Chains A and B, each alone.
Chain A
C-alpha cells in the first residue's frame, strides 16, 4: 500500500520522527482555514503518488491567505503525470540549511535490509546513483540484529554529512528503522531529510509503502487501504477480493494463479492482441469467484472478448467446467468467451463445456490456440 505524503508524515510522527505541523484538506476554503491555524508562511503541497510534483507546479509557498487561496485553487484538480490532485497538504514552511536523503528497504538479493543515506538530497536518488554512486552510503542490516546505534553512527559518518548533525541524524535514522520494521513497511524514504538553521534534523517529505500482508498486526492500516488509488475496475475487483490489474486492451483475461495469469497476458500480446487486464482468481475456480471475475471484466467497456485460462490441479476439470457454466448462468456477458481448460481431468471438463458451446462460448485445447481465437474475436468485435 502506497501512502500519500500526509499519511506518511502521520506514520512517521507516530514513531517520533520530526515532521512539520500540517493538515490535509480537499477544498480551497479548508486550505485557507488550515493555513490560518498553522501560521504563515505555509507550503501548499499536491498529494499524488508520483514524483516530480514540484516541477509540475504542485508545490507552492504562501505568505498569506490570499496566496494560499490562489495556489490551492490552481493545484486542486491539477493533473500531474496522469494523477488528479484531490488532496492538499498544508504545512508550516521550514528554513532549510541542508538537504539529505535517507531510506530503508529490503535488498532481495542480499536478503537483508538496506539503508541508503546521502548528503545529496532533494533530487532523485536514481540520478545520484548514476552520476555519483559514491555519494550514497549503504548499510546492510541483519534483521536478527536490527540497527544498533553504533552501526548507525558509522553509517552516518560514512555518508559525510555535516559533522554537527551526526547525533541528530543517528537519532532520526534509528527511529526510521524502527518505523520500517515495526511498522511493517516495504519502503520508507525521506527526501529531503533536512537540517534546519538551528541544527535540527527533520523529515520534509515522506514516501512510505506498507506491506498489505501485515494488516493483521496493524488494524489501523485499513484507513490507508481506503485511500488507495485504483481505477473503477480495480476498485470493483478489490471489493470482490480478486487480484486485478487494469490494462488498456480489448481482451479480458481470467486465469487461476498469478504466474499463469501473467503468462496469459504475455501470450495474448505475443499473438498480436492487447490484454485488458491481469486477473488471478486463485487456486480453485468455483462458480462464485468465476461469476465475480466475469462481472468485473464485463463492466470494462473496452473488452471485446474474454479469455478464461484455467489449469486444473487439485481442482479437477469437471469442477472447473461446472463452475464456469454456473457463473455464465448468473452474469449476462456481452463479449464472446474462449476457454482453455487443461490439467487434471481436462477431457471431462471439456466435454461439459462442449455441451454448452455456442457462438459466445468456445473452447480451445491449448493456451496458444485459445489466445489466437480470443484475439481474433476481439478484432471482429472492435
Chain B
C-alpha cells in the first residue's frame, strides 16, 4: 500500500498547457501516473500530447473522474486555482508553485479547512508526492525512487527529499510513499498528517523524516511520534549552523527569536525515540540499520 496516492489515482494538471506543467505532466505520465486531464479556460477542447484540456477542474472531474489536482499555475493565480480545484471536487490538491504570498497561503488553507474539510492540500512550494512504481505527481525524478517499501519518507525540503530517496535506493531499500511537504510558512500537509498515515499503512514499516530550521513543525511531529507512533523513525534536520535572522532560501527556514533551531528540533526528536543523523547520509545509514532489524 501507499499513502495519499496509488495506481488508481487520476490526476488533472492545472497549468498543463504551460511549459513547466507540460514538461512535468508528461514526465509524470511516462512514469505511469494516470494523467487524465489538464485545464485552461482558453484552450478547452484542445489537448496536450493526447491529454484532454478542460475549461475548469469541475469539467475535468466530471468527464474523467480525476480525484487529484496538481497545480503548476504561476504564483499570482494559485489562490484562485486552489479554490477552483476544491470546488471542482478533487480530494487532494498538490501545489508545486513556489513564491506564493504567505497571506494567500493562510487564506486558502483556512478556506479549505472550513469549506472543504475533506480536501487534502499538499504544498505550496513542494516537490510533490511519489508512491514508487504506482504514481508520481510533481517534479521528483522517478528514477531515484524504488518501490515496494518498507520505508515512508516525509520531507520539508525538495533536494533533500531526493537525497533521502537516493540514500535508500542505493542501499536497496524501497519506499512506500515519499511526500515532499514543502518549506513554506503554511504547508497544507504537515509532518503529522503523513506520520499518521504511515503509522496506519501496513506496508510502511519505518519512516524517514527530513526537517529544517524554522517554525515548530518538527517539535510538533516529535510529540506525535512520542504519543502515537509504534513504527521506528530516522530523522535529519538541515540548518544546524544557520545564523539567526537569516532566511536560508525557504520562506520558512529562519531562526528567529532563538526559536526554530536545528538543535532544539533534534533534541525533541531524540527525546521522542527517533534516531537522528547529523547529515543525510548518516540518517540513511540509521534507516538501513532499522530496516535490517525489522
Interface residues, chain A, CB within 8 Å of chain B? 106, 108-109, 111-113, 126, 142-144, 181, 184, 186, 211, 213-214, 216-217, 243, 245, 247, 255-263, 265-267, 269-270, 275, 278, 280, 283, 311-314, 342-344, 366-368
Please give the distance in Å from A330's CB to the nearest CB on chain B.
Answer: 25
Closest residue of A by beta carbon distance from B214: A108
Q: Do A259 and B279 form a contact, CB below 8 Å, given A143-B110, A213-B251, A278-B248?
A: no
Contact of A270 among B215, B242, B279 (CB under 8 A): B279
Q: Do A256 and B238 form a contact, CB below 8 Å, given A108-B185, A367-B281?
A: no
User: Is B139 on the interface with A (CB-CB < 8 A)?
Assistant: yes
How far does the alpha carbon of A143 sit from the alpha carbon of B101 in the complex, in Å? 13
Q: Which of A257, A263, A314 has the most CB of B within 10 A?
A: A263
How far does the alpha carbon of A278 sit from the alpha carbon of B157 in the complex, in Å? 15
Chain B residues positioned under 8 Å from A211 (CB to CB):
101-103
Q: Which of B76, B240, B241 has the most CB of A within 10 A?
A: B241
In the bound complex, do residue A311 and residue B251 qualify as a contact, i.e. CB atoms below 8 Å apart? no
In the bound complex, do residue A186 and residue B102 qualify as a contact, i.e. CB atoms below 8 Å apart? yes
Closest residue of B by beta carbon distance from A271: B279
User: Is B119 on the interface with A (CB-CB < 8 A)?
Assistant: no
In the bound complex, do residue B281 and residue A368 qualify as a contact, i.e. CB atoms below 8 Å apart? yes
In the bound complex, do residue B239 and residue A313 qualify as a contact, i.e. CB atoms below 8 Å apart? no
Please give the distance in Å from A216's CB to the nearest CB on chain B.
Answer: 5
In the bound complex, do residue B241 and residue A311 qualify as a contact, i.e. CB atoms below 8 Å apart? no
Please give the distance in Å from A372's CB to the nearest CB on chain B.
Answer: 12
In the bound complex, do residue A262 and residue B106 qualify as a contact, i.e. CB atoms below 8 Å apart? no
How far does the alpha carbon of A344 sit from the alpha carbon of B162 in the complex, in Å? 10
Contact of A144 among B110, B213, B215 (CB under 8 A): B110
Chain A residues positioned under 8 Å from B213 (CB to CB):
262
Please give the distance in Å from A161's CB to the nearest CB on chain B.
Answer: 25
User: Is B25 on the interface with A (CB-CB < 8 A)?
Assistant: no
User: Is B280 on the interface with A (CB-CB < 8 A)?
Assistant: yes
With A259-B183, A262-B242, A263-B280 given, name 5 new contacts (CB 8 A): A109-B217, A144-B114, A213-B251, A262-B238, A263-B236
User: Is B99 on the interface with A (CB-CB < 8 A)?
Assistant: yes
Please give the distance in Å from A220's CB to the nearest CB on chain B.
Answer: 16
Please report whether the interface of chain A is mostly helix, strand, loop or mixed according to DSSP. mixed
Closest residue of A by beta carbon distance from B247: A245
Chain A residues positioned under 8 Å from B50 (CB to CB):
none
Chain A residues positioned under 8 Å from B163 (CB to CB):
260, 263, 311, 342
* Sampled A-B contacts (8; CB under 8 Å): A143-B110, A257-B159, A262-B242, A265-B241, A283-B139, A313-B162, A343-B166, A344-B143
In the bound complex, do residue B159 and residue A311 qualify as a contact, i.e. CB atoms below 8 Å apart? yes
Q: Do A269 and B101 form a contact, CB below 8 Å, given A112-B106, A143-B106, A344-B143?
A: no
Contact of A257 among B103, B157, B243 (CB under 8 A): B157
Closest residue of A by beta carbon distance from B252: A108
Closest residue of A by beta carbon distance from B158: A257
Chain A residues positioned under 8 Å from B215 (CB to CB):
108-109
Chain A residues positioned under 8 Å from B110 (CB to CB):
111-112, 142-144
In the bound complex, do residue B279 and residue A368 qualify as a contact, i.e. CB atoms below 8 Å apart? yes
Q: Which of A143, A186, A243, A255 has the most CB of B within 10 A?
A: A143
Q: Which 5 A-B pairs have the closest CB atoms?
A: A259-B157, A258-B249, A257-B159, A259-B160, A260-B159
How far does the alpha carbon of A103 sit from the alpha carbon of B223 in the complex, in Å? 29
How far does the alpha carbon of A311 sit from the alpha carbon of B280 in the complex, in Å? 12
In the bound complex, do residue B183 and residue A344 qualify as a contact, i.e. CB atoms below 8 Å apart? no
Chain A residues positioned under 8 Å from B103 (CB to CB):
143, 181, 184, 211, 214
In the bound complex, do residue A259 and residue B102 qualify as a contact, i.e. CB atoms below 8 Å apart? no
Name the interface residues of B64-118: CB closer than 8 Å to any CB of A.
75-76, 99-103, 106-107, 109-111, 114
Name the interface residues of B149-184: CB closer than 8 Å to any CB of A.
155-163, 166, 183
How far does the alpha carbon of A366 sit from the alpha carbon of B76 in the complex, in Å? 39
Chain B residues positioned under 8 Å from A275 (CB to CB):
241
Chain A residues positioned under 8 Å from B144 (CB to CB):
313, 343-344
How far does the alpha carbon of A13 sit from the alpha carbon of B114 in the complex, in Å? 34
How far does the alpha carbon of A266 sit from the alpha carbon of B278 in the complex, in Å? 9
User: Is B14 on the interface with A (CB-CB < 8 A)?
Assistant: no
Closest residue of A by beta carbon distance from B278: A270
Chain B residues positioned under 8 Å from A247 (CB to CB):
243
Contact of A313 among B141, B249, B281 (CB under 8 A): B141
Q: Which of A142, A247, A259 has the most CB of B within 10 A?
A: A259
In the bound complex, do residue B159 and residue A313 qualify as a contact, i.e. CB atoms below 8 Å apart? yes
Name the interface residues of B252-279: CB closer than 8 Å to any CB of A.
252-253, 257, 262, 278-279
In the bound complex, do residue A111 and residue B106 qualify as a contact, i.e. CB atoms below 8 Å apart? yes
